[in-house]
Structure 1
Amino acid sequence: MKKLLLSSIAFIFLLTSCGSKTKGELTGVQGKKWYPEKPYGMELIPRGSFIMGKSEEDQAKLLNAPTKTVTVRSFYMDDTEITNSEYRQFVEWVKDSIVRTKLAILADELGIGPEEGGIGDYAFKDADTTRASVYDKYMLDNYSGMGETGYEGRALSKDEELVWNTSDYPDEYYTEIMDSIYLSEEESYNGQRTIDVKKLKFKYNWMDIEAAARASTKGNKSRKEFIRTEEVEIYPDTTVWIRDFSYSYNEPMHNDYFWHDAYSEYPVVGITWQQAKAFCNWRTKYKNDDNKSRGKQFVNQFRLPTEAEWEYAARGGIEGGTYPWGGPYVISDTGCFMANFKPQRGDYAADAALYTVEAKSYEPNDFNMYNMAGNVSEWTNSSYDPSAYDYVSTMNPNGGDQSNTRKVIRGGSWKDVAYFLQVSTRDYEYADSARSYIGFRTVQDYMGEEDSTQ
């Protein structure tokens, strides 16, 4: 019997060898064809070297940006700051997911499935065992009850549209869940109940690759020790319009700036560094969820730019330029201001804008980047250290100290004087702080061009 089994195995091996397409040659594992896409709303910043730091006079005498030649790899960058409209897409997705999760959990607790209608239409996908895949059934049998809530990993049903009109709620259970996400009657006024934005939290995991890499030489550690979990309230802090300016009437900006369609194409503000990081994680997930549904390969992550990447993109390929447009002046040949900032003491409107302007305002630089000077300052991924340029690498430099809560912001804003608009000027804010003059844009590492022949 043993000889017969060995003979069968040898015969099968012989058959597979004879049918090999490689003809015994080393051809490598044949993976899927890679056809990268240029990310929507982004521009390619080609790799290159530049002189980073203050090549002109350091008027503030901060001595925190000595000149240093560095090289950065190619990357894509948003051609504008992230707008209110784009950030609202994130907020709406989180709100939708929270409501669907609450509905699915209650349906599961009540034992109501899709066949019963009402809240059952929003039950977890695996609740309908007639339609559940083998994988869904396996995960339910083997991992149900694990995690903080016991519902982690179970897929939400998105076949049914959420109902927001109170007169169309399908049943009392649905009403109970919807009522739980709004502010109480006591906190409402003018007959309007609004969403409790403190409940809009985005939870995600990420791997601390740098910590894992440095720990690998100090003995074996479990991979899970380097997986970090973040849970972030993601709604912008609209009160920054009032808190940032004492004895100043800015209530209209507080009331309307983020949610009103009039400001959809303006840069989002009131965002902390942690919220900007959460947005990057969500954007990656959002794209890859779509790619997965279409059988396409995952894209690499969206993230905040390093300080060096930001300055390189802001310079637009112009060596030694003071501003993104190159020259040392903030007024063009025709007498127009070239950015949104505070040109004169107390005269915020001299450049034709009092607060922010639309993200695609003024002329872009030679990399087609808009508002790399003025409008809003921008978060970077780098931590602020006055002496960072003395020790960071000359290749893709980044002062990314996780324990340092001071994060570099760049570009100056609508409320700053021209000095802060210079491409080499460094500034910082604390990671948990939100301001009416700080926004962000994202980047993605470059992995190749689209194949135009396909």
Structure 2
Amino acid sequence: MYMKKLFLLASVTLLLTSCGSNDRGELVGVSGKKWHPEKPYGMSLVPGGAFIMGRSEEDMADVLNAPTKTVTVRSFYMDETEITNSEYRQFVEWVKDSTVRTKLAILADDLGEIPGNGGIGEYAFKDADTTNLSEYEKYMLFNYAGMGETGYEGRRLNKDADLIWDVSEYPDEYYTEIMDTMYIPVEESYNGQRTIDVTKLKFQYDWMDIQAAARAKGGGSRKDFIRHEEVLVYPDTTVWIKDFSYSYNEPMHNDYFWSEAYSDYPVVGVSWKQAKAFCAWRTKYKNDFQKQKNQQFVNQFRLPTEAEWEYAARGGIESGTYPWGGPYILNDRGCFMANFKPLRGDYAADQALYTVEAKSYDPNDYNLYNMAGNVSEWTNSSYDPNSYEYVSTMNPNTYDGENKRKVIRGGSWKDVAYFLQVSTRDYEYQDSARSYIGFRTVQDYMGIEATQN
């Protein structure tokens, strides 16, 4: 009888442990969410492969900073165009919206206002009314929210209520008080116009310094390598004045970033730090959407390395001088193939005095526009004139947090043809903004199928 009960118990245990499993006891791995590769909007796939990085043609400037070296890069997506004013304005508007909502939510919290009471209470934090929170949300609110400098970290903003910008429709005095703080002081306004105080538009994000963590002797806590950044996001429009002495460029200063006439032109006046902040925001913006749809997160958008930029600019053409290949800057019809300063300084000879629309001229063979001319572009790499001598031959990159000089590539509307060549190296300091420097982003391709081989 005892043996019969033991056999029945073992049978039940076997049924319980094998219920719902079809692996027959084999090692089959754990399945996660099904992965659906998605080409990011506005990007082209640059298939990985090997290329000769550096100056294979004559070094006319005799700078000796780009000796040839065969390297291999992995596949990645790259923006077909430089980031435009319209795209960067989306970033600025998001930061402005979030800043106002945060200020409103904090004041509503101080006043004890919650949605349903009208006025500023409609903009209270999502968790201000705990009746509809899940047990997990309550746990996180009572145990983790507010663990930071402001005391409001981790609390969700209410984005269901539309912000009101018409002063005649402000709902109450508290809303009016918050909105007043977002504009320049009355004494600084003129012609009856009070504009947004752009010094209030700051984007904060955290990132992990994996390079430092990997090389740390004795390990260290994970939090020791988390870096916090706070970046003013509004581009420096004064670059149109500061970059050129004794020159009349006020119309570009006044209109270039905000006028719809220039929406499809590349954004300028953005520092390397601001470009990095844009990448962090773009990643967050996409993954917030992915989270709503219960879909797997995408990997980060980032600035290209110097090697990735040169590889993409070459468009698969071996030892080409320019993105279109040959050593000439005119096509067979006698038209210039990029926006730069030709003919001993005749800016308008290529039909453009300043920048042109981001999708101008013919793209290269990777469908990338203006990889030569228009605006120079930030890369993620630090500039070292000797870096080609020691960087790896696989996904080479020189990143040094202490080196404030960052590589820019491609030449711009104010440069001569030499700087348009795919192998020409140049740099600018990371906290500088210029009227001739913009950027484009990349995203790693997940998988190994896409290669030139």
Q: Taking structure 2 as the reference length, what is the TM-score of the superposition? A: 0.95
State the alpha-carbon separation in 2 of the partners of residues 225 and 82 from structure 1. 33
Q: Return the letter of the residue paired with 2:387.
A: A
1:35–1:449 contact (8 Å) kept in structure 2: no
Tell me the residue number matched to 1:62: 63
Deviation at 1:448, TM superposition (A): 4.3
Secondary structure (helix, strand or coil) at the match of 2:380 reads strand
Tell me the residue number matched to 2:3.
none
Residue 13 of structure 1 deviates from its aligned partner by: 5.0
Structure 1 residue aligned with 2:200: 199
Q: Which residue of 2 aligns with 1:293?
A: 292
Q: Could you tell me how far apart the structure 1 residues matched to 2:32 and 2:49 are?
A: 30
- Whole-angstrom distance in 2 between the partners of 1:359 and 1:395: 31
Q: 1:17 to 1:254 in 2, by over 3 A?
A: same
Residues 250-288 of structure 1: CA deviation (Å, up to 9, x unaligned): 000000000000000000000000000000000000000
CA contact (8 A) 1:36 1:449 kept: no
Where does structure 1 lack aligned partners over 5 or more consecutive residues?
1-6
Contact 2:75-2:448 within 8 A present in 1 as well: no
Q: Kindly provide the amino acid, as one letter, of the partner of residue 117 in structure 1.
A: G
User: What one-letter code is carried by the residue in structure 2 that aligns with 1:300?
Assistant: N
The CA deviation at 1:383 is 0.4
Check whether the contact 2:146–2:155 (CA below 8 A) recurs between aligned residues.
Answer: no
Q: How does 1:12-161 map to 2 (within 5 A)?
A: 13-19=13-19, 20-161=21-162
CA distance 1:369–1:31, shift in 2 (3 Å):
same
Distance in 2 between residues matched to 1:16 and 1:208, nearest whole Å: 45
Deviations 1:160-211 (A, max 9, x none): 1100001111111111110011101011111111010011000000000111
Equivalent pair of 1:338/1:363 in contact (CA under 8 Å): yes
| 1:117-266 mapped onto 2 (5 Å cutoff) | 117-215=118-216, 218-266=217-265
Shift of 1:8: 13
Question: 1:403-454, CA deviations, whole angstroms, 9 ceiling, x for partnerless residues?
Answer: 100000000000000000000000000000000000000000001499xxxx
Structure 2 residues without counterparts, runs of 5 or longer: 1-6
Length, aligned pairs only: 443
Q: Does 1:344 align with 2:343?
A: yes
Instruction: Please state whether the residue corresponding to 2:130 is helix, strand or coil.
Output: coil
The answer to whether the 8 A contact 2:146-2:154 is kept is no
SS at 1:35 equivalent: coil
CA distance, structure 1, for counterparts of residue 151 and residue 137 of structure 2: 15
What is the CA distance between 1:115 and its match in structure 2? 2.2
Q: CA RMSD in A?
A: 1.7
The residue that corresponds to 1:398 in the other structure is 397
| Structure 2 contact 213–219 (Cα < 8 Å) conserved | no
Partner of 2:440: 441
Q: Output the amino acid matched with 2:90.
A: Q
Query: What is the alpha-carbon distance in structure 2 between the residues aligned to residue 313 and residue 294 of structure 1?
Result: 32
Query: 1:304 is aligned with what amino acid?
Result: L
Q: Which amino acid aligns with 2:351?
A: A
Report the Cα distance in structure 1 between the residues aligned to 2:11 and 2:199, rounded to whole angstroms: 65
Letter in 1 for 2:280: N
Q: Are the aligned partners of 1:76 and 1:443 in contact in 2 as well (CA < 8 Å)?
A: yes
> How much identity, in percent, do the aligned residues show?
79
Deviates more, 1:262-271 or 1:27-36: 27-36
Alpha-carbon contact 1:258-1:264 (below 8 Å) kept: yes
Distance 2:32 2:45 in 1: 26
